[in-house]
Structures are given as structure tokens and as C-alpha cells.
């Protein structure tokens, strides 16, 4: 069953090295929901000229505990995502998504949105949790696993890489 979950996306900060987004998750249903932690690559960047989506890549595989959160009816939670364009060199690994993930963003205008999907085929590659594990977590939290697909609002972002100067 698809319970009503609303996402609201905002651009909080932007420079050539990073874009910081805030995504508010709001439970608009009448039951407590368990939501798996939304991965950074749920952020979608569609080029405004051709609507081709930018590709995400990772430089490391990680094994970790499963993470998620519950939302009571009417409750909201905001998560910040620090996005690294692929052209920016990866800093020393500090365990953050900023170091782990990058998105290929050439100069241009983008429509940005967030997509979250949880279905019977749910699998978390970091923890190896599947849908039955989510159901067990939900039962322990007196919640219901949120299932379905939801997209946030779309915002327009113009990305420009920092220009490097050349000596003559």
C-alpha cells in the first residue's frame, strides 16, 4: 500500500565544488511510516537542453549497517545532501557521500528533483537488507514500511565549473 509521503527539495548552497540540497520528507498519511535512508543518487539532474539525466558514479564500495527513519503522522524530517561534481577531485575519504559519490555535471542548466522508490525488490547494497528486513524493522518500531515511488518538486540549477587560469 502506498501511504502519502511528500518530498520538498531546496537548493541550500552552491559553488563550483559542491551543491548542497535539503530534502524535506513529510508523512501525510495516518500511520507511522518506516522509510529507508534515501541515497544521494536519488537526486536526478536533467539537462534542460535535452533532458538527459546526469550519471552518478562512486569511487568506493561500502559495507555498513542499515539506516532509515520513522515518521509519525504529520511529522517531517529534512536531510542535507552535499553533491560533488565529477570534475572536482575526491577529497580524502571521510565516510561521507560527498567523498563516495559524484555526478557528471558539465556547465549548463539542469532541472533537479529527488526520486525515492521502495518496492518488493528493495535491496540495500551497503547492508544487504531486503524488503523482509524492512518489515522486521517496521514491526519493531510499530510502523509500516513506506512503499511506492515519489518524486519531489523540480528546481532549476545552473552549474558552472570553476575556470582555471593559464599563464602566458
Domain total in the chain: 1
CB distance 118 to 38 below 8 Å: no
Whether residue 81 is contained in a domain is answered as yes
Residue 66 lies in a domain: yes
CATH number at residue 89: 2.60.40.2970
C-beta atoms surrounding 115 within 10 Å: 14
Classify residue 166: in a domain, yes or no.
no
Per-residue pLDDT of the chain (168 residues; tens, 9 = 90+): 558 999 999 999 999 899 999 999 999 999 999 999 899 999 999 999 998 999 998 876 555 666 789 999 999 999 999 999 998 888 777 778 888 889 999 999 999 999 999 999 998 877 888 999 999 999 999 999 999 999 999 999 999 876 544 443
Give a yes or no: residue 26 inside a domain: yes
Is 164 within the bounds of a domain? no
- Please report whether residue 168 resides in a domain: no
Structural domain harbouring 12: 5-159
| Predicted local confidence at residue 166, as pLDDT | 44
Amino acid at each position: 500500500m502506498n501511504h502519502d509521503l511528500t518530498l520538498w527539495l531546496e537548493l541550500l548552497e552552491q559553488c563550483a565544488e559542491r551543491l548542497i540540497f535539503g530534502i524535506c520528507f513529510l508523512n501525510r498519511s495516518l500511520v507511522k511510516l518506516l522509510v529507508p535512508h534515501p541515497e544521494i543518487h536519488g537526486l536526478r539532474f536533467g539537462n534542460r537542453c535535452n533532458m538527459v539525466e546526469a550519471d552518478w558514479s562512486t569511487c568506493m564500495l561500502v559495507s555498513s549497517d542499515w539506516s532509515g527513519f520513522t515518521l509519525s503522522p504529520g511529522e517531517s524530517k529534512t536531510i542535507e545532501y552535499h553533491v560533488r561534481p565529477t570534475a572536482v577531485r575526491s577529497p580524502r575519504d571521510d565516510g561521507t557521500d560527498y567523498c563516495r559519490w559524484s555526478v557528471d555535471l558539465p556547465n549548463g542548466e539542469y532541472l533537479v528533483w529527488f526520486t525515492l522508490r521502495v518496492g518488493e525488490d528493495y535491496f540495500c547494497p551497503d547492508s544487504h537488507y531486503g524488503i523482509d528486513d524492512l518489515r522486521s524493522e517496521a514491526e519493531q518500531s510499530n510502523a509500516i514500511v513506506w512503499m511506492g515511488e515519489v518524486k519531489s518538486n523540480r528546481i532549476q540549477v545552473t552549474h558552472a565549473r570553476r575556470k582555471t587560469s593559464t599563464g602566458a
